[in-house]
Amino acid sequence: MTRSSLNASMWSRIFLILFALSAIVLLVLWFSGPVVGDVFTEVRESLDPNSTQPTPVPSTSRQEFFTVMGTAITSITSLVGFIVTTVISWRKEKREAALADVERRKLEVDLEKSRLELEKLKGNKPKRKVKK
């Protein structure tokens, strides 16, 4: 593999990992629902045990919406990046394979020409008289 195809392969793997992670976070947030807000409330209360008033909890539905939308956008973006990188890599590998095939054929033709020239030179060479 060439350096550029290794680079494309590396980016392809990075996009795939990013997509998988963001999809997992999206699913966890989607199915956890209000549990995430409850966890934040418990953490806030445990950090401030002297407080007699419950700390006001911001609207979790709005926070959830923005969190889920941000995760979804990240997930979709990384999926698109993965697909584009993979397609570009495949096209480049096809071009490189076609170019290598053309170069191989050219070298075969050059080799055949060289063989014909060598045989022609051997045929034109004057015969020496051998002394007995």
The reply to whether 123 falls in a domain is no
- DSSP state, 56? P
Domain count, the chain: 1
The verdict on residue 118 lying in a domain is: no
Q: What are 90-102's pLDDT values in tens digits?
A: 899 999 999 999 9
Residue 30 lies in a domain: yes
Amino acid at 113: K
Q: Is pLDDT of 56 > 60?
A: no
Domain membership flag for residue 13: yes
Inform me whether the pLDDT recorded for 34 exceeds 80: no
- Position 67 scores a pLDDT of 80
- Give 125's DSSP letter: S
User: Considering the domain boundaries, does residue 7 fall inside one?
Assistant: yes
| Structural domain includes residue 126 | no
Q: Identify whether 42 is part of a domain.
A: yes
Residue whose pair of structure tokens reads 């956890």 in the numeric block: 32
132 has pLDDT over 70: no
Residue 85 · residue 11 · CB < 8 Å: yes
Evaluate whether 92 touches 4 at the Cβ level (below 8 Å). yes
Residue 98 included in any domain? no
Question: Which position has the higher pLDDT, 61 or 82?
Answer: 82
Sorting pLDDT into bands at 50, 70 and 90, what band is 60? Answer: low
Q: Which residue range(s) make up the domain with 79?
A: 3-49+59-91
Residue 106 has pLDDT above 90, yes or no: yes
Structure tokens of 70? 């941000």
